[in-house]
Amino acid sequence: MLPQKQAEEAIVPNTNETEHEGKEEEKEEEEQSIFGVKSLLWHGGSVWDAWFSCASNQVAQVLLTLPYSFSQLGMLSGILLQIFYGILGSWTAYLISVLYVEYRSRKEKENVSFKNHVIQWFEVLDGLLGPYWKAVGLAFNCTFLLFGSVIQLIACASNIYYINDRLDKRTWTYIFGACCATTVFIPSFHNYRIWSFLGLGMTTYTAWYLTIAALIHGQDDGVAHSAPKKAVLYFTGATNILYTFGGHAVTVEIMHAMWKPQKFKYIYLFATLYVFTLTLPSASAVYWAFGDQLLNHSNAFSLLPKTCWRDAAVILMLIHQFITFGFACTPLYFVWEKVIGMHDTKSICLRALARLPVVIPIWFLAIIFPFFGPINSAVGALLVSFTVYIIPALAHMLTYRKASARQNAAEKPPVFLSSWTAMYAINIFVVGWVLVVGFGFGGWASMTNFVRQVDTFGLFAKCYQCKNPTTLHQPASPPHH
């Protein structure tokens, strides 16, 4: 059990004085964020900071695997499932934000201060539903974030290989593992302001590069668009899209970094709408151009000709993957700090040293399983389905199952729903759909595909799907990876 004492140790006797001090601190922080150069780049907590964090974190390496998913699903299913899971993901992010506000309002009524403590999702579940829910939330969330970080490391090695293939992908994984370990020095999500802004710019460039490059290239001779043709491939692609719009395992941490977390409610939806402008055109254009070839190329870069524009996209994605690695790892750092009693330590260097053991297993797993396309689908089916969709919907229903809880709720149902009954109906649909389609069919398909990759390439593969990328797109027979 993680110690609760750290989360609730500071009891403040005078509530009015606390509120006054809190307002003064908030005012000072807002003024610093506007006028201070350091705060402008480093200390973010506004609505815009949260939006940039959500949008930047939602589309990372998955941007390069969505064309691969389209080759499994077909164009129509790919577009419809993106819209469907985008809306579904926005709904459960809204539920998480409501539960966070409920938990925090209850604790603040008890005069609990969180000044030196970052609230996390498993603590929200613990405070609202008890220790068993805490254990379930902690297990799913940490495992998801662990493999999310693994995927970023694998993706770094895969991308840089298209610029420099003198080193194999496993060697690049060693190098980028060391680079990404430097994220231990970033204290919290307050400090991702400039990184989130730059990260979204990088993915925007990459998405539109993919779109324009594919349209300029045109369709390959004899291109075929035969998907969907196998159930295994179809549900594997579907779970990859479920994973795409299930990147809000860090929602609570992003909210906690805000000056006014109550304003988060619809931020994830607006972030998703922007993400649609990146994912839908790029995935559609690349699939239109290359069709079934993508079934053997899980990284869209591998089919595009080597140009300075492509190399720029690769470099920008590498930088963004460093940022996304930090996003996925920071909640794990917080959990580990709480376990070893270092969470309230103010020294950045001491905290960085304490965090290093978290990076080592991530590094090791990235070397064992170097195929991020199938891992995306497996993580989506087995972990994201529960962490991001099923658990928040169930937790919301159980938290407000009593009339007294609904009457005293910190957040009432949104304006576009007429009643609590409508919220329950949507939540039941989310749980049923994701449990059957996402976890059931998706789990079967993604694990079948994953085992096939292991059997084909083996564990610790030195260079998964490697051939000289400079010759990948010669007019003569395209190579089969």
pLDDT tens-digit profile of 399-441? Answer: 999 999 999 998 889 888 878 999 999 999 999 999 999 899 9
CB 387 within 8 A of CB 246: yes
Hunting for tokens 């779970």 — which residue is that? 239
What is the mean predicted confidence (pLDDT) over 28-44? 53
H/E run at residue 239: helix 231-244
User: For residue 74, is it left (φ>0), alpha (ψ between -120 and 50) or beta?
Assistant: left
Lowest pLDDT segment from 8-12, 29-33, 70-74, 91-95 = 8-12
DSSP conformational letter for 199: H
Q: Stretch 65-77: mean pLDDT, rounded?
A: 93
pLDDT band at 481 (very low <50, low <70, confident <90, very high): very low
**In the chain, count of helices (H) and strands (E)?**
19, 0
Stronger pLDDT, 162 or 181, i.e. the higher one:
181
For residues 192 and 275, what is the distance between their CA atoms, to the nearest angstrom? 19
In this prediction, what percent of the chain has a pLDDT beyond 90? 36
| Range 382-386 average pLDDT | 87
Model confidence pLDDT, tens digit, residues 216-227: 999 988 899 998
Measured torsion, CA atoms of residues 329, 332, 333, 335, in degrees rounded to the nearest 10: 170
Kindly tell me if the per-residue pLDDT of 346 is higher than 50. yes
pTM: 0.82
Instruction: Please state, rounded to an integer, the average pLDDT across all residues of the chain.
Output: 82
Which tokens hold the place of 121?
Answer: 């999702």
Residue 455: per-residue pLDDT: 61
**Beta bridge partner(s), residue 11:** 112
**What is the arithmetic mean of pLDDT over 312-327?**
87
The pLDDT assigned to 456 comes to 61
pLDDT at position 276: 95
Could you tell me the maximum CA-CA distance found in the chain, to the nearest angstrom?
A: 78
Q: Which of 197, 199, 262, 241 is nearest to 70 (CA)?
A: 241
Is 119 within 8 Å of 136 (Cβ atoms)?
no
pLDDT at position 280: 96
Q: Assign 367 a pLDDT band (cuts: 50, 70, 90).
A: confident
Q: How many CB atoms lie within 10 A of CB 9?
A: 13
Q: Can you tell me whether residue 11 is helix, strand or coil?
A: strand
Confidence at residue 322, expressed as pLDDT on a 0 to 100 scale: 84
Please choose, from the candidates 216, 161, 184, 104, the residue with its C-alpha nearest in 3D space to the C-alpha of residue 360. Answer: 184
Query: If pLDDT is split at 50, 70 and 90, which confidence band does 103 have?
Result: very high
Most confident of 51-60, 149-158, 286-295, 468-477: 286-295
Q: Note the pLDDT tens digit of each residue in 386-399.
A: 988 999 999 999 99
Q: How confident is the model at residue 83 (pLDDT cuts 50, 70, 90)?
A: very high
